[in-house]
Each structure stands twice: as structure tokens, then as C-alpha cells.
Amino acid sequence: MAKRKTKYVCQECGYESAKWMGKCPGCNNWNTLVEEVAATGGRGNHTFNVGGKPAGKPESITSIESQKEPRITTTMKEFNRVLGGGIVLGSLVLIGGDPGIGKSTLLLQISYQLAEKQLPVLYISGEESTRQTKLRADRLGIKADQLYVLAETNLFDIAKQIEEVKPSLVVVDSIQTVYREEVTSAPGSVSQVRESTSELMKIAKTNGIPIFIVGHVTKEGAIAGPRLLEHMVDAVLYFEGERHHTYRILRGVKNRFGSTNEMGIFEMKEEGLREVMNPSEIFLEERSQGAAGSTVVASMEGTRPVLVEIQALISPSAFGNPRRMATGIDNNRVPLLMAVLEKRVGLMLQNQDAYIKVAGGVKLDEPAIDLAVAVSIASSFRDQPTNPEDIFVGEVGLTGEIRRVSRIEQRVQEAAKLGFKRVICPKNNLEGWTIPKNIEVVGVSTVQEALDIGVSR
């Protein structure tokens, strides 16, 4: 008989302790240590060898032949681009998002698109029965003989079905429900999630089967379970959006087979998710003409330029400490830019409340949006609107200078395509590329220059 002992495992970071502690020494979180029973002997490490191959030997990197990773493309171009061009064979992809945001709907639609190409797909649901999955499929209009549905949480049975079906794609919804019998902790614990993901990774790499796993998120928005989970997989995708809005954003934060920080826009319809091919038009369709405090910025999301409206509201404060609130951008960036405007431009903002919002629910984090935010603040403070046909791009330094940004050519081309007439950008970005004929590009060196051009007194 195997000897058993009790250990305490942190449900956030996986730290193990022989005794219970209120605060985890690994991640400093309180009340996260949970008692688990682990076998210390009498049992070897059991792994599933589905179509296993012998272990390889070390090779010189110069003798390894370079080749392009084979991919499976879906009919959703937005989904393909976020993954770097399609689904890589043998990859393990983790998708996280808030409950009810549409993760299962997205993966069921992707499974249907591959099944229509006569590629067998195995959809494993640990949270719903096959009848519940069928009801969702009926609502989405999904009927495909090559789409197989399995309601199972035992990892050994899942591996056995993968060996029998030999699918071209496997979806596991969700990883927190899957368990291994050899691990004594409850499903969803750190040990179960880690071991189950490890075995699914072996199945994917050994057989060349791409596997998508759904991960729950915590109240802070991070994927539940150990941080190791995100390090083990090949790609991590976050499905974001407001539940009360129809638009959803699929954002890639890690991708071993493509660029990171790519973004795909989808619209939630009654019949499922529909991709939005030109998100700039969506984000600007409700823009008010001639309103003070409104500017448009050309932001880069991965390799794609997106035009987004930034709104600012500056009003006198009724309290001793003025409020600084921001939605869609870093909250710490607002007081920094207001300090630059006060010191370098002379705007008296120290007794003003400031509210900044990125329209459309998009989150922007690149430095190139600084100039647009600063112009919005100045426009609202002076109560003078900007030209609705202007675009502002640039990083603002603490001395009031405008610093160069990346990919200025793509930003200007996107602005010209949507009918904007002028782009105000850093002067250092004007060299080395061809300006389109139907748009004017104005280079500025300081915030004061940009305000003189973009905001009338």
C-alpha cells in the first residue's frame, strides 16, 4: 500500500507546505492554502501514451531543417489572424474570459467550420451534457456529421476517446473540470489543473492534434489556477467585452507561432459570433461632430491599425482633491499628461476634475495615444472642439516634446482610407516613407505646437 501524507497547496501559485498557513509565502495571498492528500510511494508516475513515439536525441541547431508550421485555417479571418495565420498542428491553446462572454460559442463555431471541411472534431464538455451542447448547436444552426460531442471529465477516458476518434481538433471546455484519478485533490485544484494540462500537452505534441482548452477567470480577470498554466501552453487568448454590449474582442497575449497583442473584433448576434472586418468604422460611427474634448487616435493593435475616439471631460472640482478617472487607458497616465499641460503649456488644471474615456470599450496601452489624450484634455478645458477630420498620434515626454512612434505609415493609410484629411504626428516620423496623396501629414515637435494646430483658442 502507498504511504499517504497531508500537504497544503496554494490554489493561486501552487506553493506546497507541510502545515497550514494563513498567508502563502509564495504569492502573499491570504487563505489560499488547501489541504490535499498525496501518495509518497508504491505508485509510479503514470502517463498516457496515446500513439506515443520514442524519445529523441539532442541535435545541433545548425543541422535542424527549418520548415513552416502547417496550419489549419478557419473561415473566420479575425480568428486566424489572432493565432498568427491559423491553427498550428500539435499546438495547445488556452482561451480565457468572463462567464457568459461567448467562449463556448466561439469554439463551437470554429469546430463547425472545420467539421464542414470533413475534418473530424471532438468537442469535450465537462460542464454541460451532450443535450445542452446540442441545444446551443441548434441555436447556432450547426449540423455536421464530423463534429463529435463528449460529456466527460475523466482524463483517462478523454485520452481513450481521442485515440479512437483521431480528431483534427480537440476542444476541452473547461480545464477546471478535468481530473486525473491518480491525483487525490478535487477537480479545479492547482494539482489537477497542472497535471491535466501537462497530459493534454503530451497528447497534442505526440499526435500533432491541436487542442483548445477553456480556462475560468478570477474576479480580477486573470485565468484561474496556477500561473504555470499560461507558461505551459503555446498560446493564450483572452475573450473580452462588456456583457451589455454586442462587441467582443479576442486578444492574443502569448503566441509561440505568431505575433502577440493581436486583436480580433466580433459582434454577438442571435445566430452566433460574426467577425467585424473594419473595426475603425464601428468605433467611430456614433462620434459627435463639433463636440469639445473629442479626438481620434490611430492606435496599433498588433499589426493592425485601429482608429478610436478618445473623449475627455474637464470640469471645476467641488472638492480639495480633484478627481482623475480613466476608462480604457492607464489611470496613472492622466495625471502625468495633465502635469505636462500645466507646466509646459500653462493650462491651470490643478483645480479641475478630469474624466477620460476610450469609446467602444477598447483598452489602449501604447504610448502613441498620449498626444490624443492631451489634445482632448486641452479641448475640453478650453471648450473648443478639434477638427473632426484630424487624427492625433504621438508620445508625449515630460519636457513637452513629441516623440516618434512605430508604424506611422500604416496608421496614416488607415486614416486616409476612412476619409480623414489631416494627421498630426511627431516631426521625426516624417522621413523614410511615402505620404498618401489624399491626406495631409503635419509634423510637430512639442505639445504646444500640436495644440496651436489642432485646438483653436
The answer to which of 158-172, 218-232, 311-325, 373-387 has the lowest mean pLDDT is 218-232
- Annotated ligand binding at 104? The verdict is yes
- Annotated ligand binding at 437? The verdict is no
319 and 296 part of one domain: yes
- Annotated ligand binding at 452? The verdict is no
- Annotated ligand binding at 102? The verdict is yes
| Residue 42 confidence (pLDDT) | 45
The stretch 438-450 carries a mean pLDDT of 95
338 and 239 part of one domain: no
Q: How buried is 274 (Cβ within 10 angstroms: 0-12 exposed, 13-18 middle, 19+ buried)?
A: middle
| Residue 168 confidence (pLDDT) | 95
Higher local confidence (pLDDT), 50 or 343: 343
- Annotated ligand binding at 99? The verdict is yes
Taking all residues of the chain, what is their mean pLDDT, rounded to a whole number?
A: 88
Percent of the chain, pLDDT > 70? 92
382 and 427 part of one domain: yes
Position 52 in a domain: no
What DSSP letter does each residue of 306-334 carry, written as one string?
EEEEEEEEEEE-SSSS--EEEESS-TTHH
Contact 232, 199 (CB under 8 A): no
Give me the long-range contacts of 238-245 (CB less than 8 A, separation at least 24).
238/95, 238/96, 238/97, 239/95, 239/96, 239/97, 239/98, 239/101, 239/102, 239/103, 239/106, 240/97, 240/98, 240/101, 240/363, 241/101, 241/102, 241/268, 241/361, 242/361, 243/98, 243/100, 243/101, 245/361
Supply 75's cell numbers.
473561415
157 and 258 part of one domain: yes
The answer to which of 31-35, 88-92, 135-139, 311-315 has the lowest mean pLDDT is 31-35
Supply 271's cell numbers.
445566430
Position 62 in a domain: no
206 and 301 part of one domain: no
98 and 226 part of one domain: yes
Parent domain of 404: 282-454
318 and 413 part of one domain: yes
| Residue 48 confidence (pLDDT) | 55
The stretch 72-101 carries a mean pLDDT of 92
249 and 162 part of one domain: yes
Rounded CA separation 28/69 (Å): 41
| Residue 108 confidence (pLDDT) | 95
Position 63 in a domain: no
The stretch 116-134 carries a mean pLDDT of 94
| Residue 16 confidence (pLDDT) | 86
The stretch 84-89 carries a mean pLDDT of 93
216 and 360 part of one domain: no
Q: Which of 244, 227, 360, 367 is nearest to 300 (CA)?
A: 367
Domain boundary among 239, 257, 277: 277
Burial per residue of 238-261, b for 16 or more beta-carbon CB atoms within 10 angstroms, e otherwise:
bbbbeeeeebbbbbbebbebbeeb
Position 51 in a domain: no
Query: For 341, which DSSP code?
Result: I
17 and 165 part of one domain: no
Domain boundary among 260, 277, 294: 277
- Annotated ligand binding at 103? The verdict is yes
pLDDT at 377 over 80: yes
390 and 348 part of one domain: yes
84 and 215 part of one domain: yes
pLDDT at 36 over 70: yes
Domains held by the chain: number: 3
Give SS3 for 93: strand
What CATH number should be reported for the domain holding residue 167? 3.40.50.300
| Residue 370 confidence (pLDDT) | 96
Domain boundary among 277, 306, 330: 277
